[in-house]
Amino acid sequence: MKKCAAELLGTLILVFFGCASAMTQGFGTGSLGVAATFGLVLMGLVCSLGSFSGCHVNPAVSLAWFVHRRIDGADFMAYVAAQIVGAVLGALLLAATLGTDLGNGSFGTNFYGPQTPTSVGLSAGQAFGVEVLLTFTFVLVLLGVQARPELASTAGPVIGMTLLAVHLVGLPLTGTSVNPARSLGPALVRGGAALGQVWVFLLAPMLGAILASLTWRLLAGGPTRTEVSAPSLEDSDPGMARTGPPGVASAAQ
């Protein structure tokens, strides 16, 4: 229950602050401010909630951890359910606080096509490819951090800065998802075109996470260092035996 509570709370906070910054970027925040908000909030969540659940706050990350046998099927389903509930609650709280039409009216949702808050107007296929690549990069970094326990103390900044960089590239293209829960919550609350397009931002990040997991296994050449290093992680923090080293997470986005 503590793990699920941490995932729910973390995803709620990520969605609220991240999407709020997206809604207000036209009032001075700008794309850099939005990217920094997502990255810095995730950094803080990793440092504060990582010891409870690993602070995935992202179904794509939980899928990668499941593929690498860091969590079992029951934990995977529980994590994803908690993340989705947290994302919906975060979006509802945002709607109650700022409404759904502030700024460009996107409500922080993800998008593609000509009728979007940006002038890029990617096709569905292009948006899908962008999200696969962005998620692949993000998850590959997380797997690399987890495979080296000596990096545990710097995991928060590494993960946060990676999410910031991913957002800088993805914001003008798709609004940057890399996190199915982060996309689904605002889309369910906003409805309309956002809900009709959300399938891209549910499927593409999951595919990107799978590809990153397979690539990491190929690079590792046999048993991953994650699996090999598990006993030492348990010795240092028994509570993280299955969720990953302290502070290693995430997020979504």
Is the per-residue pLDDT at 186 higher than 80? yes
- Predicted local confidence at residue 233, as pLDDT: 33
User: 46 and 155 in contact (C-beta within 8 Å)?
Assistant: yes
What tokens were used for 23?
Answer: 């809604």
Express each pLDDT in 82-123 by its tens digit: 999 999 999 999 999 999 888 777 899 999 988 676 668 899
Express each pLDDT in 130-141 by its tens digit: 999 999 999 999
CA of 95: how far to CAs of 99, 109, 140, 221, in Å? 4, 12, 33, 47
User: 53 and 2 in contact (C-beta within 8 Å)?
Assistant: yes
User: 35 and 214 in contact (C-beta within 8 Å)?
Assistant: no
User: Exposure of 182 by Cβ count < 10 A (0-12 exposed, 13-18 middle, 19+ buried)?
Assistant: buried
What is the pLDDT averaged over residues 152-157? 82
- Predicted local confidence at residue 229, as pLDDT: 36
Runs of H (alpha helix) within the chain: 2-23, 30-53, 59-67, 73-98, 124-146, 155-174, 180-190, 193-220, 225-228, 230-236
Query: Residue 8: CA atoms inside 13 Å, Cβ hemisphere, count?
Result: 12
> What superfamily does domain 2-100+120-240 belong to in CATH?
Glycerol uptake facilitator protein. (1.20.1080.10)
Cα radius of gyration rounded to whole Å, the chain: 17
- Predicted local confidence at residue 120, as pLDDT: 82
Is the per-residue pLDDT at 225 higher than 50? no
Is the per-residue pLDDT at 242 higher than 80? no
- Predicted local confidence at residue 153, as pLDDT: 75
Provide the 10 A C-beta neighbour count for residue 172: 15
What is the pLDDT averaged over residues 134-161? 88
Kindly report which listed range (69-73, 111-115, 140-144, 240-244) carries the lowest average pLDDT score. Answer: 240-244
Is the per-residue pLDDT at 48 higher than 70? yes
- Predicted local confidence at residue 240, as pLDDT: 40
| Residue-by-residue DSSP string for 29-48 | THHHHHHHHHHHHHHHHHHH
72, 77, 82, 88 alpha-carbon torsion, rounded to 10°: 150
- Predicted local confidence at residue 75, as pLDDT: 95
Q: Hey, where are the domains in the chain?
A: 2-100+120-240
User: 164 and 38 in contact (C-beta within 8 Å)?
Assistant: yes
Confidence of residue 222 (pLDDT cuts 50, 70, 90): low
Express each pLDDT in 22-37 by its tens digit: 999 878 778 999 999 9
What is the pLDDT averaged over residues 63-72? 93
Query: 3 versus 251: which is more confidently predicted?
Result: 3
Top mean-pLDDT range of 98-107, 135-144, 214-223, 244-253: 135-144
